[in-house]
A = this chain, B = another copy of it.
Amino acid sequence: MLQTFASPISALLDARAEGHSLPAGLYTREDVFEADLEVFFRRHWICIGLECDVPEPGDASVIDIGKTSLIVLRDDDGDIRVMHNVCRHRGSRLLDPGKTIVSKLVCPYHTWTYELTGELSYAPHMGKNFDKECRSLKAAAFKSVGGLIYVCLSDNPPEDIERLIDVMAERLAPYDISNAKVAYESDVIEQGNWKLTIENNRECYHCSANHPELCVSFVDLDFGFDPDALSLEDRAQAEEHFSLYAERTKRWEADGYPSAAVEQLVNCTTNFRTQRLVISGAGESQTPDATAASAKLLGTILRKDLGDMHLWGHNSWNHFMGDHAVVSIVIPLSADKTLVRTKWLVHKDAVEGVDYDLEKLTNVWIATTEQDAELVARSHAGIEDPAYVPGPYSPFSETNLDKFTSWYIDRMRAHGY
């Protein structure tokens, strides 16, 4: 007799073998998905957007994470506020999904009215003894990570976010991401578990067979390789790349651009990695020919050869280049569906058609995201198959997957699973 779903989640965590992909249930079970949402998307810091999504006072943007709907807005003092999109009367949604401009937040149901600070200022029919003060909109904990909006939905946000903020504030200062312009935005729904989306992003083992556009500017060697498998020619090329890499890093650091890898991927609460990577070919940007897509560079930057400052979080990946940045955010929709939201940033004064060509700007990551969606779907479908057993990660090019899944197991345990 088969006892479907009988095993507790902890048994799945116990069954995990180091160096291998996770037991199927951790990718496919609904109860694990609910636990993941609670642990990784409510009790950890997650990236949900950008300060420059709401550039002016009164700009508001609604972002849904699971059943949670957040209003990100810029208040009259120019500060960012993140509040729950739930009226304190009978729970109605205040704003529809998407972007809008507001002077106050008026619930369409019974016209309860909130200031942009979240304070309830008008509640008809409630009588003179009604206490409005305890009925402000609920706020969510918010931090700016160099212009990226991070929130934590728990009352007890992890404190080690400060290290991420410190590292990135310095690294991203010249890019002035808070004042960038979102030139393009795309939502892709991948038919797979969010952890497969992240694992797929953590290796470039699959790049050469799947990402012709990305491979022009991206160096898969940076994320590991098997030295014994290289031909003499490839080995020479690899050596050349790594000496170039060392030289450039040294020069960048000397010029005041922090570039060395900083990572906390295991034995930590907030998971991240950043490093300034070399762009190959023309060396400027992740575009079809590796030259810059935007003539106007980001922030205060004056040179195109600053490489690719990458940043990983457990629900995001980012590439900051001299001319533009690409920010990708991962929001799980169900055990087998994951939203990947990508935003392309340019200087706030860059004009489409004049300073940049939108097709050139977006070509590489639109193509790459579609290719990845296909791979994640294939992978999820196979893992749902009873014939799946966890397979071995490459000890060269999939070590970051092992770190990610190890961190996943640790964090689940830390939350009592």
Contacts and interface: CB of A to CB of B under 8 A. Distances in A.
Contacts of A128: 228
A125 B205 contact: yes
A78 interface: no
A229 interface: yes
Contacts of A184: none
Given A2-B38, A31-B4, A91-B382, A205 B388 contact: no
A26 B383 CA distance: 28
B416 A1 contact: yes
Contacts of A382: 69, 85-87, 91-93
A334 interface: no
Contacts of A90: 21, 199, 379, 383, 391, 393
Contacts of A386: 42, 67-68, 153
B84 A229 contact: no
Given A31-B4, A91-B391, A108-B210, A385 B86 contact: yes
Contact of A397 (B84, B125, B375, B391): B125
A260 to B, nearest CB: 25
Interface string A186-227: 000000000000010000011001100000000000001110
A384 B67 CA distance: 6
A158 interface: no
A271 to B, nearest CB: 20
Contacts of A226: 124-127
Interface in A99-128: 108-111, 124-128
Given A108-B209, A209-B110, A385-B85, A378 B124 contact: no
> Which of A38, A91, A384, A415 counts the most chain B CB atoms within 10 A?
A91
Interface string A374-417: 01001101111111110111111110000000000000000111
A375 B124 contact: no
A349 B415 CA distance: 66
A242 interface: no
Nearest to A371: B108
Contact of A1 (B86, B138, B209, B415): B415
A395 B128 CA distance: 11
A92 to B, nearest CB: 5
B34 A84 contact: no
B21 A91 contact: yes
Contacts of A375: 92, 108-109
A86 B379 contact: no
A310 to B, nearest CB: 21
A391 B2 contact: no
A172 interface: no
B392 A130 contact: yes
A225 B67 CA distance: 34
A15 B353 CA distance: 59
A35 interface: yes
Interface of A: 1-2, 4, 21, 24, 31, 34-35, 38, 42, 67-69, 84-93, 108-111, 124-128, 130, 135, 138, 153, 199, 205-206, 209-210, 224-226, 228-229, 375, 378-379, 381-389, 391-398, 415-417
27 contacts: A1-B35, A1-B416, A1-B417, A67-B384, A69-B381, A69-B385, A84-B387, A86-B385, A90-B199, A90-B393, A91-B379, A91-B383, A91-B388, A92-B378, A92-B379, A93-B378, A93-B381, A108-B375, A108-B378, A109-B206, A109-B379, A125-B205, A125-B394, A125-B397, A125-B398, A127-B396, A130-B392
The 8 A-B residue pairs with the shortest CB-CB distance in the complex, in nearest-first order: A1-B416, A84-B387, A91-B382, A125-B394, A91-B383, A2-B38, A86-B382, A91-B388
